[in-house]
Amino acid sequence: MPVVTLPDGSQRSFASAVSLAEIAASIGPGLAKAALAGKIDGVLVDTSAMVTQDAVVSIVTDKDPEALGVIRHSTAHLLANAVQELFPDAQVTIGPVIEDGFFYDFAYKRPFSTDDLAAIEIRMAEIAAKDIKVIRRVMPRDAAVAHFKAIGEHYKAEIIGAIPVGENISLYGQGRWEDLCRGPHVPSTGKLKAFKLMKVAGAYWRGDSRNEMLQRIYGTAWANEKQLKEYLTQLDEAEKRDHRRIGKELDLFHLQEEAPGAVFWHPKGWTLFQTLIAYMRERQRDGGYHEVSTPEIMDRELWVQSGHIEKFGENMFMTKTPDERVFAIKPMNCPGHVQVFKQGLRSYRELPLRIAEFGKVHRYEPSGALHGLMRVRAFTQDDAHIFCTAEQITAESVKVTELILSIYRDFGFTDVRIKFSDRPAKRVGSDEIWDKSEAALKHAAAAAGIETSLNPGEGAFYGPKLEFVLRDAIGRDWQCGTLQVDLNLPGRLGASYIAEDSQKHTPVMLHRAMFGSLERFIGILIEHHAGKLPTWLSPVQAVIMGIAKDQDEYCLEVAENLKNQGLRVETDLRYEKVGFKIREHTLKRVPFLLVAGGREVEGRTLAVRTRAGKDLGSIKLAELGSLLCNEVASRGRLVLEDQVSQRRSA
């Protein structure tokens, strides 16, 4: 008689072994209908799974976080089922769940077309509507190989052949269609109600370019139509905000094949880049950081000593000199900062010592992973390392956390989540050191009053970290800043200080980045603001234009006046209609458009329009400079149009 303990702590006894579906039905018909899967002692399983002894059980519905994975995995099978009904010669290979959806690879004699995708999606809906029961069965590994060979599924047979001899294999079937899978899956195809096929692409079998090319169909699946619609709307909005397209429209940067993963910054883009650096330089100076610059190329042996070659070597660029000496282009700034710390005899009185650098680093990323500014091979980090004692970890971590969150607010990010990433499988240092590092960082997070979620196994190879995740204007998450506690690297590289006991001690090293990669952060900013950057960040903050040639001299005078106040302004003296010029600069997302006609020249004013199309009326030149400077200094918290309204009402 198994006793089942439910999530609310209540218990139910059953006379014999019972399935999760039966347990759900015993609780209520509504739960039985909503059940997609379940958990037995924390393990995710099908609703057909049997409880044979006392266990903690929960029923998974579409309200649970695990539901989407089950739905998407089951929809991948639905896709494969539909493909093989429409194209019987197609062979199935693998169909995993990925972020926001799934894909399935097929071996077929020709590429699938857009029309094929439409037909496949219709057939998927037809199979789902039949509400076919999904059945799991188990067979020995060798029998499974023979089974798939017999039905012509040679790719599946090859996959199973790689599984150790003697293991049992689970298969999931719906009607006459069946596939190899670990599961779990939904109870029936009728549970799959909101899905869409997105695109088709080529993919090599087992990811090896020496193997045959397969057809990969991507899709997305959600718990209901509302979620699907919201996701598709977000995708549409993301496409409109694509930083690569906007970057080209605003003439900010470009990339080209001769320098894969490296950015060619144009004047306006470089202005934005330098504005970020100037801002961060000011914030770091106020925070007690000392800025340094370390070499981009250093001897390979330093990276062996630090552990980077062993743990990160496949992502590093190497170069050899004519005398056969091997150097590495730095993928990180930390070893260089340790070398700065090691110069001279350090005292505990100098700690904490905060060293910062806008360091250019290079990391090898596969060509297929490169994506505009978001994934590059050459980028600049706003990197800093704090050398401190163990007793100073908490106070310094609190300061770093407060600084990071304050900086994100200045850029318009108020929804920030923090993840705690603990030790990865591939790491340096003893478990004892990792225990101390993780405990110290957890204590610091608690002292800072921040809530964290666990990101298991995602720490750096030398220490645990806090990851700061920004949510943008359309609901996407971006991991940017990090804070890492490192009790490994300083000792490996021989860093020490003289403590109060007059003995040498190894310092703790806190790794800290706020933007992470300046290139990537700019990409995120562009997409978050849809290219309409706050005035203080805009490469061009205002454009001055005249209605006729008679106003050219005044426009040039205005430009000189505003430039002398530190504002980034341009003139447009082309002999075009002013409406045409206003539209053009509005599309270029210039925050303010300043128009001068005869009346403005006579009154020493300017007609002011915003890029949103709002007419702020005529403003005296002397007043306008002050208003614009206030707008820039406030970093968007006090917009010019509000200032104008306040002054007029006063």
Tell me, yes or no, if 505 is annotated catalytic: no
Tell me, yes or no, if 443 is annotated catalytic: no
Q: Output b/e per residue, 570-594; b: 16+ Cβ within 10 A.
A: bbbbeeeebeebbebbbebbbbbbb
Tell me, yes or no, if 465 is annotated catalytic: yes
Residue closest to 102 by CA, chosen among 93, 94, 92, 114: 94
In angstroms, rounded to a whole number, what is the distance separating the alpha carbons of residues 178 and 175?
Answer: 8
Among 72, 300, 308, 465, the active-site one is 465
Among 363, 512, 609, 611, the active-site one is 363
Q: CA separation (Å) from 420 to 223, 391, 417, 452?
A: 28, 21, 10, 6
In angstroms, rounded to a whole number, what is the distance separating the alpha carbons of residues 583 and 588?
Answer: 9
Greatest alpha-carbon pair distance for the chain in Å reads: 97
Which run of H or of E encompasses 309?
helix 308-312
Tell me, yes or no, if 385 is annotated catalytic: yes
Q: Which residues, 6+ apart, have CB-to-CB distance to 258 below 8 Å?
A: none
Q: Tell me whether strands 55-60 and 3-5 are parallel, antiparallel or unpaired.
A: parallel
Tell me, yes or no, if 141 is annotated catalytic: no
The structure tokens listed for 170 are 């689970």
Tell me, yes or no, if 266 is annotated catalytic: no
Among 46, 383, 422, 572, the active-site one is 383
Among 511, 520, 568, 611, the active-site one is 511
Q: How many helices (H) and strands (E) does the chain have?
A: 21, 35
Residue closest to 406 by CA, chosen among 280, 538, 272, 531: 280
Among 84, 381, 541, 643, the active-site one is 381
Tell me, yes or no, if 511 is annotated catalytic: yes
Q: Which residues pair with 485 in a beta bridge?
A: 510
In angstroms, rounded to a whole number, what is the distance separating the alpha carbons of residues 22 and 2?
Answer: 13
> Which long-range contacts link 635-641 to residues 24+ away (Cβ below 8 Å)?
635/410, 635/534, 635/536, 636/412, 636/534, 636/535, 636/536, 640/535, 640/592, 640/608, 640/610, 640/616, 641/610, 641/614, 641/616
In angstroms, rounded to a whole number, what is the distance separating the alpha carbons of residues 587 and 571?
Answer: 16
Among 39, 284, 334, 484, the active-site one is 334
Catalytically active residues, by annotation: 334, 363, 381, 383, 385, 465, 511
